[in-house]
Structure 1
Amino acid sequence: MRSRWCIGLAAALLVGAVAAQTPADGADQKRRLIEQKIRLLEMLINSPAAKGAPYGREAESATLLEKGRTSIDDARKALADGRFDEAAKLLDEALKSASSASRRMSAGEGGLSESAQRKSLQDLGEQVEMYRTSLGELATDPEKGAAARALLGRIDALRAESVQLATGGRLGDANRKLADAYKLAVEEMSRLRAGQEVVLSLKFDTPADEYAYEKKRFASNEIMVDMMIAEGRAEGDKRRLVDGFVDNGRRLGSQADTQASSGQYPEAVKLMEQASAQLIRALQAMGVPVF
């Protein structure tokens, strides 16, 4: 599930990016953006969600993914010849088709392994629980307690539906329901906490554990950004602003992963916190009152 969300987000951000550039941006920048699209498309068609068995709905998806591979070759030729607009158009259409294929396969529960979907449920559930803890504290507030308790009820209802769906083997639907709970918690909790300082007290056994938490938080923020874009909250000029924040966040996240892979967890934690801060700015730009 998480692979599908992250790839879907990246595809949504880059589709149309080259077309949005002005002549003043220069050929080098257009070339870089086209190369980014090529790398993204390669990641999408080689992702776990694209490796389901080719039958039924997956057969249609396999055809779309094969078109994506052909488009990569054609786009590379156009890029080599300096035909930037043609290369961008080829990749835009291929990204849309490949993203659609990924969604179809995921909706058919054949895209990601059961273990990957259950891991996504666990990670997202931990983020929802963090908000529930803070809501529990707010539930005793004389002014906002009633609203906090009502919000807890709505979140718990969605969580219960997610558990029921997961128990019935519908892990994709369970993930989507829990994502709805997370979105509700983020938006409504932020409104309730308006004007208040929010402090979440966390304790980690090791720096590696702290980094793992920050990485999960970043992934949850990616889910939120994806949902807001899908709802049309990044239309027009706002899209470029959101794209910039997300690009910065992904760059910092990649740097954090590099630091963590060499055991430099304190530095990695700081970088991942900065990466999440960029996604929070993207959410705020789309009108989400995230704290």
Structure 2
Amino acid sequence: MQEIMHNKGCHFVLALLLTTLTAWADTPPSAAAPVDQSRKLQLAEQKSRLIETLIATPAMKKALEGKNPEAQGWVNISRTLLDQAKTAMQNEQPDEAIEMLDEALRSLSKASGALASDRIAGLLTRKKDFEEQVKQLDSYRRTLEEMAAVPRTSDSARRLIIQLDIMVAEGHKLFDKQKFDDALKQMTAAYNLAVAEISRLRAGQEVVHSLHFASPREEFDYEQKRYHSNEILVGMLSREGRAQGEAKGLVDGFVKAAGEMKEEAAAKAASNDYPAAIKDMEKANQHLNRALQLMGVAVF
């Protein structure tokens, strides 16, 4: 938590500093107070050192890694302008140097804005993934509530409900603290526990899923949500290294086949051929289920 607050603080300070310096860059010198060449060179050197410091900050270094092309572009522009300004200072051309340095500051400000937008987009994606996992676990909880009404599975189902509620609550706490990766791992652990224990409790029973949809479009939307949930889980388990060597190649193949089938389903749905689109989505989910099984997840 302390590290997160530190990072947020660093981004805030950087943004505030860039805003202040950009405003400074946009303020023309007073005509009533002419500045001599030496003072102008001194001012250019100060701005040059400030820009070098800003480019060396963790946020700008991250931009140069290339994960955000827009931010990377603005930082590279500022570096080029900085080099040109240094050449101008060596040639004792302070006015040209200051103009280039001011433009470099504006470029860094734009890079900071692009990074901020990237962070917001990442947060929204994680929030969506987390919410999908919560929905999936809610559906399993309803299944367990039904099993709790059956004498043979009642005690075990009730204990599992309590255990899952504790794990899900912890996942929410982690997410609220902005420990997004830990929150998603916690929800994945809860998911794995749920599917494994429900499968165990249902051993020897005929599993029948009775789902009723108001329209083919509603059923198609359900299959898409199921696909997205499975896709999240496959991605997380892959990043954890659950598939190695030959298994990884098989998992990647199933994921690719699932994606292609999903695109075909979307095309058919766009033509209002929902029955065919639903069949394609079911096949897509089967591919993802096979990938999950290869990584040790019980799927039913």
TM-score, normalized by the shorter chain, greater than 0.5: yes
Question: Where in structure 1 are there 5+ consecutive unaligned residues?
Answer: 1-53, 70-104
**Equivalent-residue separation in structure 2 for 1:267 and 1:118 (angstroms):** 31
Equivalent residue in structure 2 for 1:234, among 235, 243, 264:
243
Equivalent residue in structure 1 for 2:279, among 261, 270, 273:
270
Is the 1:179–1:223 contact (alpha carbons within 8 Å) kept by the matching residues of 2? no
Partner of 1:77: none
CA drift of 1:115 comes to 5.1
Deviations 1:31-75 (A, max 9, x none): xxxxxxxxxxxxxxxxxxxxxxx9965534322226989xxxxxx
Partner of 2:16: none
CA spacing shift, 1:171–1:142, aligned 2, 3 Å: same
Partner of 1:190: 199
CA spacing shift, 1:68–1:268, aligned 2, 3 Å: same
CA drift of 1:166 comes to 5.0
Is the 1:155–1:185 contact (alpha carbons within 8 Å) kept by the matching residues of 2? yes
Structure with greater Cα Rg? 2
> Secondary structure of the residue that 2:119 maps to in structure 1?
coil
Partner of 1:65: 66
Partner of 1:152: 161
Question: Could you tell me which amino acid in structure 1 is paired with residue 66 of structure 2?
Answer: L
CA spacing shift, 1:185–1:61, aligned 2, 3 Å: farther
* 1:279 correspondence with 2:288: yes
> Secondary structure of the residue that 1:288 maps to in structure 2?
coil
**Identity percentage over the alignment?**
40
Question: Could you tell me which amino acid in structure 2 is paired with residue 206 of structure 1?
Answer: S
Partner of 1:3: none
> Secondary structure of the residue that 2:272 maps to in structure 1?
coil
* Superposition RMSD in Å: 3.3
Partner of 2:144: 135
**Equivalent-residue separation in structure 2 for 1:238 and 1:258 (angstroms):** 31
**Equivalent-residue separation in structure 2 for 1:174 and 1:287 (angstroms):** 21
Output the TM-score relative to the length of structure 1.
Answer: 0.58
> Secondary structure of the residue that 2:121 maps to in structure 1?
coil
Is the 1:134–1:200 contact (alpha carbons within 8 Å) kept by the matching residues of 2? no
CA drift of 1:260 comes to 1.9
Equivalent residue in structure 2 for 1:217, among 211, 221, 226:
226
CA spacing shift, 1:59–1:194, aligned 2, 3 Å: farther
Partner of 1:207: 216
CA spacing shift, 1:166–1:234, aligned 2, 3 Å: closer
Partner of 1:97: none
CA spacing shift, 1:212–1:56, aligned 2, 3 Å: farther
Equivalent residue in structure 2 for 1:162, among 147, 171, 175:
171
Partner of 1:33: none
CA spacing shift, 1:113–1:134, aligned 2, 3 Å: same
**Equivalent-residue separation in structure 2 for 1:127 and 1:209 (angstroms):** 17
Is the 2:129–2:232 contact (alpha carbons within 8 Å) kept by the matching residues of 1? no
**Equivalent-residue separation in structure 2 for 1:66 and 1:115 (angstroms):** 17
CA spacing shift, 1:282–1:156, aligned 2, 3 Å: same
CA drift of 1:266 comes to 2.1
CA spacing shift, 1:286–1:196, aligned 2, 3 Å: farther
Output the TM-score relative to the length of structure 2.
Answer: 0.56
CA spacing shift, 1:190–1:143, aligned 2, 3 Å: same
CA drift of 1:176 comes to 4.6
Is the 2:174–2:183 contact (alpha carbons within 8 Å) kept by the matching residues of 1? yes
Deviations 1:144-167 (A, max 9, x none): 433322221121112223344555
Partner of 1:178: 187
CA spacing shift, 1:121–1:285, aligned 2, 3 Å: closer
